[in-house]
Amino acid sequence: MHRKALWAALALTLATPLALAQDAVSQLRAFAQASKAGEARFTQTVTSPDGKRVKTSSGTFAFERPGRFRFDYTKPYPQTIVCDGKELWFHDPDLNQVTVRAAGDALGSTPAAILLGANLDQTFTLKSLPDADGQRWAEAVPKQADGQVRQIKVGFKGEQIATLELADAFGQRSVLVLEGYKAQPGLPAGAFTFTPPKGADVTRQ
């Protein structure tokens, strides 16, 4: 999956502490209802369809309903992805390039829909999966089959969402692990506002 397409992936890994639901699907629905804001560190691993190529990246993430989130990748190279609720900004500091597009056009049946929308059943087919790796798992499959994401698996450890697995249309697999999550953090004003750096090449899509 192209790195720009992964801007929303970590959205599924964040949740406020919830009472342990009866099954993983109930827990996922409760997450969508209760999560208002949060921030965390994350590690993301992307594996090619043949399993031979693995890329790892890491950084920090923050979100706030309605519709605002921010990714700051730090390794292996910097990149910033910001959504202010109306527009989605991608900034590559090394190239000093900025790409901007309408947020609504970018969301669709992506993991961001789970963060930003309370009614998952309108967009996804949900089911609980067997426990594995010490986690309780739920599956979310987009009802629109023409998108980039084919399957999302969410792993819960106790009351907290801990792991996110994504399978895309090309057979790539992305796994995201959350660390140091803080619910309802005191995010600074302007955390979800992006101003292109001076001299940046800005492209609107």
53-90: per-residue pLDDT in tens?
Answer: 999 999 998 888 877 888 899 999 999 999 998 999 99
pLDDT score, position 111: 59
Q: Does the structure show a pLDDT above 60 at 1?
A: no
| Residue-wise DSSP of the chain | --GGGGTTGGGGG-----PPPSSHHHHHHHHHHH--EEEEEEEEEEE-TTS--EEEEEEEEEEETTTEEEEEEEESS-EEEEEESSEEEEEETTTTEEEEEEHHHHHTTSTHHHHH-S-GGGTEEEEEEEEETTEEEEEEEESSTTSSEEEEEEEEETTEEEEEEEEETTS-EEEEEEEEEEES--PPTTTT---PPTT-EEEE-
Mean pLDDT, rounded, for 146-150: 80
pLDDT band at 96 (very low <50, low <70, confident <90, very high): very high
3-185: CATH topology: outer membrane lipoprotein receptor (LolB), chain A (2.50.20)
Q: Does the structure show a pLDDT above 90 at 148?
A: no
Closest-CA residue to 205 (of 100, 134, 57):
100
28-53: per-residue pLDDT in tens?
Answer: 888 777 778 888 889 999 999 998 89
Between residues 123 and 183, the one the model is more confident about: 123
Mean pLDDT, rounded, for 113-139: 83
Q: Does the structure show a pLDDT above 70 at 113?
A: no
Q: Does the structure show a pLDDT above 50 at 20?
A: no
Rounded alpha-carbon distances, angstroms, from residue 160 to 87, 131, 203, 204: 29, 15, 38, 37
pLDDT band at 136 (very low <50, low <70, confident <90, very high): very high
Mean pLDDT of the chain: 82
Mean pLDDT, rounded, for 168-187: 83
